Amino acid sequence: MTVLELSLTVFTTQLIFTWGRTWNIKEIARKNVKGVAISGSLIHIMWLISLSIGAVSIKEVMMDFNFEYIPVVLCSLVGGTIGSIIRLKN
């Protein structure tokens, strides 16, 4: 995958992850078992994908000084922030 594809994937998975995490917290507060199971599964899958790509990208930046991967890290930050904001407003 190219850095652009990795960046878009991390942005999307982080957006869904943080949106889903906020949803999951709300479902836990409501004691809604079905909502907790669905949202928990979604956030786990998104977490695995994002973490896998993010770990490789951070390794490239930190260990190999390959700054080409900085957009992946920035997309992770921005996607996570936007996902939280969107879910809180709903």
Helix (H) or strand (E) holding 32: none
Domain count across the chain = 1
Q: What is the pTM of this model?
A: 0.87
Query: By residue range, what is the domain housing residue 18?
Result: 3-89
pLDDT digit string, tens, across residues 4-13: 999 999 999 9
Count of positions (residues) in the chain: 90
Candidate from 19-28, 52-61, 69-78, 79-88 with smallest mean pLDDT: 79-88
Tell me what pLDDT residue 89 has. 84
Return the sign of the alpha-carbon dihedral for residues 25, 22, 17, 39. Answer: positive
C-alpha 79/C-alpha 52 separation (Å) is: 16
Element (H, E) at 49: helix 33-62
Over residues 60-80, the pLDDT tens digits come to 999 999 999 999 999 999 999
